[in-house]
């Protein structure tokens, strides 16, 4: 049995158009002990390719983290087969708020074995990731974040919180989760051990680990939003609970965002007008992730700078020659970090302005 994809992007797009599926985008995670991640990875690939599951999945000895799309008519089979796995029986599945205008959130199934399902930079063997903080549902989250004795922290990266976040949240200007743990503790938590610490992220996986880590570090009143922004938005809509999230929820697939409220809180990184659509620079040797309005997109041909615009207009063989010698050329720039972006703000809110 073949356990990897061999088709090109163009072939995959044609294949899924011909299939004509309606897709359901799902995310889930579970921290658990997996003795042989490679065997587990191959098992998942084998059963999921039979029902055309697409997406990105990480498997490690500490558990599984998945962002996938499932054909709507196969969702019940997918759920039943997933729940047949003992440590995933009954696992919460976060269903996307909407699939937006994206034709295919994913084009292929990629399941990778990693050292960890969430890179954290931690090397403390006494740390128990399952000793997590208290989970809050949407109503409990709203009530506790109204308490003046609460610190609300966004555990996502700068480019995520820039387009959407909860009212009153601290949005650290960080690039990675591993960077956020020591940074947040040093800048915001020291001296505030008596406060309620409430954290949130996209689907819950980052907060699950962060809440356990800060409990391990001696903080007692640690809470996390159950199911993250995705579950919160669905629960608010279904139960008529007031929504405290403003803007877009950044997601890691071709949609790049789910609209939670109609507020546009970010700005085009090139002209400064209100905008919250993330794009990747059309120059493949740059591939910079940034926010671009429709007018700048048309004027710049989807590029982040005049230099990249000129390169992207060259014939393919010349562009390949310019990229030659670069390893992982699309990582030359960090997401949303470049001096070329004239209107990229520092989103971080000082704690003393929130208390």
Give which of 223, 224, 221 is closest to 204, Cα–Cα. Answer: 224
Same domain, 151 and 65: no
Residue 113 pLDDT exceeds 90: yes
Measured distance CA(182)–CA(187) in Å, rounded: 8
Work out the angle at residue 44's Cα, subtended by the Cα atoms of residues 35 and 82, and round it to the nearest 5 degrees.
95
Q: Mean pLDDT over residues 182-203, rounded?
A: 92
Q: Are residues 149 and 237 in the same domain?
A: yes
Which of 212, 242, 272 marks a domain boundary? 242
The pTM assigned to this predicted structure is: 0.79
Identify the band that residue 318 occupies on the pLDDT scale cut at 50, 70 and 90: confident
Residue 100 pLDDT > 80: no
Lowest mean pLDDT segment, chosen from 13-27, 64-78, 119-133, 306-320: 119-133
Residues 202 and 105 in one domain: no
Residues 105 and 196 in one domain: no
> Is residue 58 domain-resident?
yes
Do 97 and 161 belong to one domain? no
Torsion angles phi and psi, residue 244, rounded to 5 = -100, 5
Pair (139, 187) in one structural domain: yes
Q: Do 142 and 229 sit in the same domain of this protein?
A: yes
Residue 4 to residue 110: CA distance in whole angstroms: 7
Q: Does residue 34 share a domain with residue 78?
A: yes
Residues 145 and 236 in one domain: yes
Same-domain check for residues 199 and 233: yes
Pair 168, 88 in one domain: no
pLDDT above 70: residue 183: yes
pLDDT, tens digit, for every residue of 327-336? Answer: 544 444 456 6
Residue 284 clears pLDDT 90, i.e. is over it = no
74 within some domain: yes
pLDDT digits (tens, 9 = 90+) for 143-172: 999 999 999 999 999 999 999 999 999 999
Whether 25 contacts 96, CB under 8 Å = yes
pLDDT at 91 over 50: yes
* 33-71 pLDDT, tens digit each: 999 999 999 999 999 999 999 999 999 999 999 999 999
Question: How many residues are recorded in the chain?
Answer: 355
Handedness of CA 232, 235, 239, 245 (dihedral sign): positive
CATH number of the domain enclosing 103: 3.30.70.100
Q: Helix, strand, coil shares of the chain as percentages rounded to 5?
A: 35, 20, 50
- On whether residue 55 sits in a domain, the answer given is yes
Does residue 289 fall inside a structural domain? no
Distance set, CA 151 to CA 147, 159, 163, 166, 202 (Å): 9, 21, 21, 12, 18
Alpha helices in 53-189 (DSSP H): 75-83, 138-145, 158-161, 177-184
Check if the beta carbon of residue 255 is closer than 8 Å to that of residue 235. Answer: no
Averaged over 176-180, what is the pLDDT? 90
Residues whose CB falls within 8 Å of the CB of residue 69, separated by 6 or more in sequence, listed in order:
23, 24, 25, 26, 53, 54, 55, 104, 105, 106, 253
* Buried residues in 250-271 as b, exposed as e (16+ CB within 10 A): bbebebbbbbbeeebbbbbbbe
What pLDDT is stored for residue 355 in this prediction?
Answer: 40
Q: Residue 333's pLDDT is what?
A: 44
Domain count, the chain: 2
CB 151 within 8 A of CB 192: yes
Identify whether 9 is part of a domain.
Answer: no
pLDDT of 154: 96
Residue 153 lies in a domain: yes
State which residues form the domain around 99: 21-113
- The verdict on 106 and 159 lying in the same domain is no
Q: Could you read off the pLDDT of 202-213 as tens digits, one per residue?
A: 988 999 999 999
* pLDDT score, position 7: 84
Indicate whether 258 belongs to any domain: no
- Among 160, 141, 354, which residue's Cα sits nearest to residue 241? 141
Residue 184's domain is classified under what CATH number?
A: 3.40.250.10
Task: Decide if 76 is inside a domain.
Answer: yes
Active-site positions read 201
Name the domain boundary from 79, 113, 147.
113
| Orientation angle between helical segments 138-145 and 228-239, nearest 10 degrees | 100
Indicate the residue among 242, 261, 293 that finishes a domain: 242
């Amino acid at each position: 049995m073949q356990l990897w994809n061999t088709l090109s992007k163009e072939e995959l797009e044609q294949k899924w158009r011909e299939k004509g599926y309606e897709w359901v985008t799902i995310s889930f995670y579970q921290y658990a002990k997996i003795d042989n991640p490679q065997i587990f990875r191959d098992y998942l690939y084998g059963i999921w390719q039979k029902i055309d599951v697409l997406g990105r999945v990480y498997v490690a000895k500490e558990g599984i983290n998945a962002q996938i799309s499932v054909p709507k008519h196969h969702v019940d089979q997918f759920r039943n087969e997933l729940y047949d796995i003992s440590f995933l029986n009954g696992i919460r599945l976060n269903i996307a708020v909407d699939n937006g205008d994206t034709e295919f959130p994913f084009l292929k199934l990629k399941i990778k074995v990693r050292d960890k399902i969430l890179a954290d930079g931690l090397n403390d063997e006494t740390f128990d990731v399952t000793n997590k903080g208290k989970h809050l549902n949407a109503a409990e989250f709203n009530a506790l974040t109204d308490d003046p004795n609460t610190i609300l922290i966004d555990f996502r990266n700068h480019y995520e919180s820039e387009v959407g976040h909860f009212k009153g949240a601290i949005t650290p200007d960080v690039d990675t989760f591993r960077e956020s743990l020591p940074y947040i503790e040093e800048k915001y938590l020291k001296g505030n051990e008596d406060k309620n610490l409430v954290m949130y992220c996209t689907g819950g996986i980052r907060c699950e680990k962060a809440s356990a880590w800060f409990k391990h570090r001696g903080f007692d009143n640690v809470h996390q939003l159950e199911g993250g922004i995705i579950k919160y938005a669905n629960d608010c809509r279904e139960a008529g609970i007031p929504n405290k999230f403003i803007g877009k929820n950044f997601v890691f697939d071709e949609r790049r965002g789910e609209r939670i409220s109609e507020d546009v809180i970010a700005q085009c990184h090139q002209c400064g007008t209100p905008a919250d659509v993330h794009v990747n620079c059309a120059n493949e040797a740059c591939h910079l992730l940034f926010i671009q309005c429709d007018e700048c997109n048309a004027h710049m041909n989807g590029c982040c700078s005049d230099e990249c615009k000129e390169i992207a207009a060259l014939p393919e063989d010349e562009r390949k020659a310019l990229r030659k010698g670069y390893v992982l050329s699309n990582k030359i720039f960090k997401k949303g970090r470049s001096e070329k972006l004239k209107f990229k703000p520092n989103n971080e809110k000082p704690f003393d302005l929130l208390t």
